[in-house]
Amino acid sequence: MFIHKINDDLSLKLIELRDGERVFEVTNNSRGYLREWLPWLDMTTKLEDTIEFIKICLNGFAQNKSLNAVILFKGEIVGVAGYNNINWSNKTAYIGYWLGEEFQGNGIMTEVAKSLTDYAFNELNLNKVEIRAAIGNKKSRSIPERLKFVNEGCIRQAEWLYDHYVDHAVYGILAEEWNTK
């Protein structure tokens, strides 16, 4: 079981089937807010959809291809973050995250992304961490910028978001850059 304590109030725990109800509740309570930038909200309309997502996450973890965790803030699940993909041959992890609307503005996601980046380099011995976000998603983009990731460019029409494409900003940081900060 993966459990990673970040500080007294914040930790990451491997997502489990028993987390399904709370993850779905946070998703549902923040549906309108999250839908602006996340393409899966319309396909997550009932608890069973979240359970299927968790099964996919657990399968990816079992195959050593990903690591998705619930974010625990003061003991309560407030979102999901982790490595959507780990490319072991290129030694690169791709971080993804979302946080319930009512928990925004507490510095939670910056600390989570910082911790995931540190873990990727110092525990998994990876060489690079990437974070991608829609060009217009200023809140999500501010996280890698705050952590001094390099803006490596733009992927045009990278994602279909309900009725239009969005371009993605690609941020990356190398182990040698991270560990000298």
Calpha distance 164→36 (Å, rounded): 12
Q: Where are the beta strands (DSSP E) in 51-161?
A: 67-73, 76-87, 92-99, 128-134, 150-160
The 10s digit of each residue's pLDDT in 97-130 is 999 999 999 999 999 999 999 999 999 999 999 9
* CATH superfamily to which 3-178 belongs: Gcn5-related N-acetyltransferase (GNAT) (3.40.630.30)
Q: What's residue 180's pLDDT?
A: 72
Delimit the domains of the chain by residue range.
3-178
Q: In the chain, which residues have pLDDT < 50?
A: none
β-strands 128-134, 92-99 pairing: parallel
CA distances to 66, 80, 93 from 19, rounded to whole Å, are: 18, 11, 24
How much is the mean pLDDT over the chain? 96
β-strands 10-14, 150-160 pairing: unpaired
Q: What's residue 164's pLDDT?
A: 96
Q: Model-level pTM?
A: 0.95
